[in-house]
Amino acid sequence: MSSTTWVPPGLDAVPRPPTQPRKDMHSFSNIAQIHPEGFHLDWEIDWVRQIIFGSVTHKIGVDEDGVSEVVLDSSYLELGRISVDGVEVQADVAPRQGNLGSALTIPLKAPAPKGDILKSKIEYSTTDKSTALRWLTKEQTFSKKGPFLYFQCGAIDARSLLPCIDSTFHRSSYTATVKSAYPVLMS
């Protein structure tokens, strides 16, 4: 009876498959070129009109040289002023494409190099068509003492709460300042 010893191939013996570019058929964002570094929400909740208004300030990392625009996902948002690194820009909102909403394309004044961190502030408000917001009257709550609001951003609904990179390829941390007539808890 003979014995053989099997030795696995070395790490370099089998070539690594080519890296595929990041694509997400459910996002308009240019996720192969940029990634979120975090964002700050500055909101006021209007309980009477049932909207949230204010701004989001994104910190966006650049993943390749020559990026000339930031593309974010949006849905049913009213957009106001938009700036990049403190300079106001004229962004473009593409026509709505069903449940995916609209691409928000923010031009950069000059192509950004790989490794750059951009800061983009977007003033906006939600609308009554937001798929992320659920407003309950005080009569619908257990205590019957005040209204209740919760967000549900599963699937592709975050884009109706704020313009963002709404893709499973990226997660992001955030901070928030929220003005409200009722207590606020966010996690």
pLDDT in tens, 115-152: 999 999 999 999 999 999 999 999 999 999 999 999 99
Q: Is residue 25 part of a domain?
A: no
What are 55's two structure tokens? Answer: 């701004």
Question: Strand (E) positions, the chain?
Answer: 34-46, 51-62, 67-74, 77-84, 87-89, 92-93, 102-112, 117-126, 133-136, 148-151, 174-179
Domain that holds residue 43: 34-174
CA distance readout (Å), 174 to 38, 97, 110 = 5, 28, 27
Instruction: State how many domains the chain has.
Output: 1
Looking up residue 85, the CATH number of its domain turns out to be 2.60.40.1730
List, for residues 56-110, the tens digit of each pLDDT value.
Answer: 999 999 999 999 999 999 999 999 999 999 999 999 999 999 999 999 999 999 9
> What pTM, to 2 d.p., does this model score?
0.88
Tell me whether residue 109 is in a domain. Answer: yes
The overall average pLDDT reported for the chain is 94
Is residue 74 situated within a structural domain?
Answer: yes
Report pLDDT digits (tens) over 25-67: 999 999 999 999 999 999 999 999 999 999 999 999 999 999 9
Tell me the backbone φ, ψ of residue 42, rounded to 5 degrees: -125, 95
Provide the token pair at 41: 């929400």
* Res 1 pLDDT > 80: no
Torsion region of 86: left, alpha or beta (phi above 0 gives left; psi -120 to 50 gives alpha): left
Write down the pLDDT at residue 20: 72
Whether residue 147 lies inside any domain: the answer is: yes
